[in-house]
Structure 1
Amino acid sequence: MIYHHTKILSTLAISFTLYSPLLQATSTDELAKSIINLRGDVENLYSQVKENKQKYHAQMKSLSMQSIDLQAQINRKQTSLKLANNELKKIKQKIQETSNGNKEIKPLVLKSLKLLEVTIQEGIPFMVQERINSLHKIKSDLNAGLITNEKALALTWASYDDAIRTTKEIGLFKQQIEFKGQKVLARIAKLGSVALFFSTPKDEVGYVIKKDTGYEYKHITDPKDIEKIVALFDALQKQIRTGFFELPNALVLQGSN
């Protein structure tokens, strides 16, 4: 029995002795393959780093060139602005020198602008804010020295001419109106300074009447009156400004009736 165990141990020892070199050889091959793979990975990573480094330098170079170009543009703009400011100073000085000989014109112009603004506000509500804004621009340009007293006088005179023309003008226009508590862009049929009819995008029609507190856009619901107003808009659309038209009693100065 002892002999049998000894024989088995001897056999195992011989087998292990024979297998051990094979294990060592296999481990060595795998290690070599692993090292080769790692070397390949390192080379790939190095190539990527080199490529990214080149891209980074190219981007930095491009950004640097863009920065230089932008700085040059800024310098040109600053130079142009400086020249424009200098030119503006010269023009203002020239305007001031020209206006000094006619100082009495400026108070007259300012007074006339104020009177015309009141007239526009009290008159038929046609493009009121736009017309007043043009008067304010004349006033601000005059006070800022951007126009001469004579130029301001000419512009004021033209504004008076425009106001007179408005009292006679008949035609179709578009303007924003206050209707049913909302701002609405409506079509306007203006008959001089006598009457002003409107038509909303929802085909609601009416006319303007003057109240003690200002003007009101009165909505018309009577089918016959609606038909008359629609006929007026159609005629003006066809450039028909003369002839007989039957219209509702829409005189601006009719009061609250």
Structure 2
Amino acid sequence: MRPDPVQSGAFAKALFTPELPAPNGLAGRDQVRPERRFAVYRNNVTVSLIDAMASIFPTVQNLVGEDFFRAMARLYVTAHPPTSPLLFTYGETFPAFLESFPPAADLPFLADVARVERLWLDAYHAADAAPLDPAALAQVPAEELAGIRFRPHPATRLARLRYAGGTITRRDRAGTSLEGVDPTAPEAVLITRPDCDVAVELLPSGGATFFEALIAGQTLGEAFAAAAGDEETDIAGLLGLALSSGAFSAIDIHHESPIL
């Protein structure tokens, strides 16, 4: 028998709204009141989601402390219940939540740290694909180089940040001190998974523009032209990063077969 959608909606609403009573229609056994069993279940679900949040955003938790994080995560879980049974997809709106969370207002960089951590998990769970062999470029005739297109690896993610979320996340996850880090410095990060491990790369000047163009399907020549607007751009360095980072899985020359 399919559950009544009205009853199912009421159950879900009560599950994530602590001030609401247990939904109607619950049945208990072993002389235990159904309201009590529901309260225990509701708490277990909430704690499980908070635990999931802590595993998704470990650096955010380290920055604010476990007690503060769990209290904050409980408020988030109540306001933003999951929409998918896959827990690793949860927390996509957490960075935006942090931006408007008054108790964290003195840590404006916290949302960008959460963005990097959320993208890290997305990259970790992305589809598998062999990264581009850097030697593949040697197979392209010189006159064809400007017209080649790079095929992004499924795990590749890129973000422009207002704060130093990439540096903070990298250092914290490596167990390195944050001493000397300016958290207010804007950054751009490239997140890849060249092997089994996710890597967070801090992009140099012009890097975000260059990789955004390549990921969007523009040619190498077009990406170079877009990034060249910044006189500090190291074109050779960006090309080397495109080949070595694992951000791409193949290159295409016009309509020929891809070079892996």
Verify same fold: TM over 0.5.
no
Larger radius of gyration: 1
Structure with the larger RCO, 1 or 2 (CA within 8 Å, 6+ apart): 2
Q: TM-score, normalised by structure 1?
A: 0.24
Q: What TM-score comes out, normalization by structure 2 length? A: 0.24
